[in-house]
Amino acid sequence: MSLSNGRHTLAIPGPSIMPDRVLQAMHRAAPNIYTGELIDITASLVPDLKAVAQTSGNVAMYVGNGHAAWEAALANTLNRGDKVLVPATGRFAHGWAEMAQQMGIEVEILEFGMRASVDPAQLEEALKADKDHKIKAVLSVFVDTSTSAKSDTAAIRAAMDAALHPALLMSDCIACLACDAFEMDAWGVDVMVTGSQKGLMTPPGMCFVFFNEKAEAAKSQVDYVSGYWNWSPRANPQGYYQYWCGTAPTHHVYGLREALNMIVHEEGLPAVFNRHAVLARAVWAAADAWATEGPFELNITDPAARSHAVTSVRIGAPAGTQLRNWLTENAGVTLGIGLGMEDETDPNADGYFRIGHMGHLNSHMLLGTLGSIDAGMKALGIPHGSGALEAASRVCAVRG
């Protein structure tokens, strides 16, 4: 017997759970890509995406995943041989840095390890040390999905300003746009990248690069931007095909339209951010109770430095992998693997897991995941404190 039959819950940090409405909007015959509603629907995505990013700047849409957005941001703003500074709070910062290196960009890493957010004072020091302004951009990951560390982006901008440094501020919001509140313009972010498959509740395959005038000015200093990555025609298309540099990702357009209806026009962004904040607190409340006994520990100790979209847990090897497997096989819940915490061949890599709590998620879904984790620890004999579900349900016992 297995208790896993029933609707499966994917609690990994992306792709996230897709609303049935999004899937149903995509379930249709291929539309005409030359005239008709697809053209208007595509145009209607732009203001809503900007609303989610809280920017009056530009957005270029691409057929691609998060890595494509990383590459697009770099390709439009930097030359080979330029230098970037990467304050690193987890695997994804290193991933973006590696992509920059592959493009011939020189990378300086400012390492904050796997358990902390960016310290703006250290960033300011590093920028002050760059007297000749060789650093052209700071590549910062707002929420690093591997560690669940969230960095204070306004404070990063303030540190750059205090250092009187002209570098562009680029922000990776792939993990958490429409989950953790992000204010591109107010926080002084010049380039922001995100993807469709996490907070935006749409299948992987679309990504977005937002950019302001300062980033546009930096682009004019770039010797060569290849046609596909060039963000200008995409952000200001003269013909429909220029949005995508070719055929539109037709079904994603319908899916994202429905997701943005739900996020921007029905629930509304303040409520969306608040829902994520409360659900994250429910996870932390359960975690605090579990942690009173046994190995369960949140990766990020400071609540202010924790994401509202994903939570990284340390539980010791092999309990992390055992628990994940138990939940999939016996409860119909898939948790995220620990990412970048240890070398993959190191047996200690089995001591971690992540809970994705992003996008299309309500309290009963989250309480089900937390209850399943609790059951798994009991089944496997992993010592843990009691009262986790009680604590989480108290957090969820709020009126909207």
Ligand X SMILES: *Cc1c(COP(=O)(O)O)cnc(C)c1O
CA distance 230 to 114: 34
Question: Quick one: 66 or 120, whose CB is closer to ligand X?
Answer: 66
- Residue 267: CB minimum distance to ligand X, A: 22
- How would DSSP label each residue in 141-175? ESEETTTTEE--HHHHHHHHHHTT---EEEEE-TT
Instruction: Give the helix ranges, DSSP H, for the chain.
Output: 20-26, 37-53, 66-77, 91-102, 120-128, 153-162, 213-219, 231-235, 250-260, 269-290, 319-331, 363-380, 388-396
CA distances from 339 to 277, 290, 312, 323 (A): 23, 22, 9, 16
- Residue 305: CB minimum distance to ligand X, A: 15
Q: Which residue is nearest to ligand X (CB)?
A: 66
Question: Quick one: 84 or 291, whose CB is closer to ligand X?
Answer: 84
Choose, by CB under 6 A, the member of 119, 172, 190, 216 that binds ligand X.
Answer: 172
CA distance 368 to 8: 11
Residue 145 found at the interface with ligand X (CB under 6 A): yes
Contacts (CB under 6 A) with ligand X, residues 46-75 = 65-67
The contact mask relative to ligand X for 174-213 (x = CB under 6 A, - = no) is xx-------------------x--------x---------
Residue 141 found at the interface with ligand X (CB under 6 A): yes
Contacts (CB under 6 A) with ligand X, residues 1-30 = 14
- What is the bridge-based pairing of β-strands 310-314 and 352-356? antiparallel
By three-state DSSP, how is residue 306 classified?
Answer: strand
- Residue 34: CB minimum distance to ligand X, A: 29
- What is the bridge-based pairing of β-strands 168-172 and 191-195? parallel
Considering CB under 6 A, how many residues would be counted as binding ligand X? 13
Question: Quick one: 100 or 141, whose CB is closer to ligand X?
Answer: 141
Nearest to 318 by CA among 337, 302, 331: 337
- Residue 220: CB minimum distance to ligand X, A: 27
Question: Quick one: 37 or 98, whose CB is closer to ligand X?
Answer: 98
Q: What is the CA radius of gyration of the chain?
A: 21
Residue 376 found at the interface with ligand X (CB under 6 A): no
- Residue 293: CB minimum distance to ligand X, A: 32
Binding-site ranges for ligand X (CB under 6 A): 14, 65-67, 92, 141, 144-145, 172, 174-175, 195, 204
